[in-house]
Structure 1
């Protein structure tokens, strides 16, 4: 695996790749094997990519030295009547992050997360939220980057970064 990657702003043409990253996020466990079409047709997942790129959407894509996308982090502001897993309130962006398995634990997710949080702050957001399953190893990453659990459910936690 090449050890070099770069990060660029996500564009409208990245919609399909963001779908791939929703699938990676949903299949985060080793051996996770829910089919792409099954995940992306489920209402709880398709809200994160349908109609990408809306005016309030923002994100970043990591690419390897061959210019192939390897991970993405993005946010959407979801409506109260169609909330995501990590919904905490109107006008609070909810982030989604996915990294190809071979690139996990190499700093890609952290770099994407940091870039997205800085961008959200620059856009005037004071908080950003996410949802993570209790046993997902990424929870430690989120904690180390300033996210705190604001709601604990039976399967997943909602975490918020108060970007002060």
Structure 2
């Protein structure tokens, strides 16, 4: 338990909530309003959920004290011929994280990030990657938690860290 929330392993039945968190991640800017169906059906985002939960997939869900999910972090190992935004290699899982707006700045994201890095390491992954837009305030969190830029893009960067 982390104050007024706790973490649990993500299950196959969490797919719809992970979709909600994918939409939150895509709409991170204040006033971000890309419709749910647009985010979830776009080729760029669909890869992060299609067929959840595959053998190599894993994740965590943050729940409020009343067991209502409020955030999630999960990873997928994506193939080289269908890479994600943060792809750095075939055996490196790519992290996705989203937190409900009312639960931001309350430690949920940091707890999920630390937990998913630990989980990935316990599953034998030496590194984990993510993609973040340059003006996203979460960059500071990722840096503080040991992520470093490994590839710069036009408006977004790929970051990675070891899980050991």
Shorter-chain TM range is over 0.9
Q: Does 1:137 align with 2:119?
A: no
Aligned residue number for residue 22 of structure 2:
22
Aligned residue number for residue 50 of structure 2:
50
Instruction: Describe the superposition over 1:10-61 as per-residue Cα deviations: whole angstroms up to 9, x where unpaired.
Output: 0000000000000000000000000000000001001001100000000000
Aligned residue number for residue 40 of structure 2:
40
Determine the C-alpha separation between the residues in 2 that align with 1:19 and 1:91. 24
Structure 1 unaligned spans of 5+: none
Aligned residue number for residue 122 of structure 1:
122
TM-score by length of 2: 0.97
Measured after TM superposition, the shift of residue 67 of structure 1 is 0.9
Instruction: Describe the superposition over 1:82-113 as per-residue Cα deviations: whole angstroms up to 9, x where unpaired.
Output: 00000000110000000000111110000011
Aligned residue number for residue 104 of structure 1:
104
RMSD (Å) for aligned C-alpha atoms: 0.7
Aligned residue number for residue 151 of structure 1:
151
Would you say how many aligned residue pairs link Structure 1 and Structure 2?
162
Structure 2 unaligned spans of 5+: none
Moved over 6 A (4+): none
TM-score by length of 1: 0.97
Aligned residue number for residue 113 of structure 2:
113
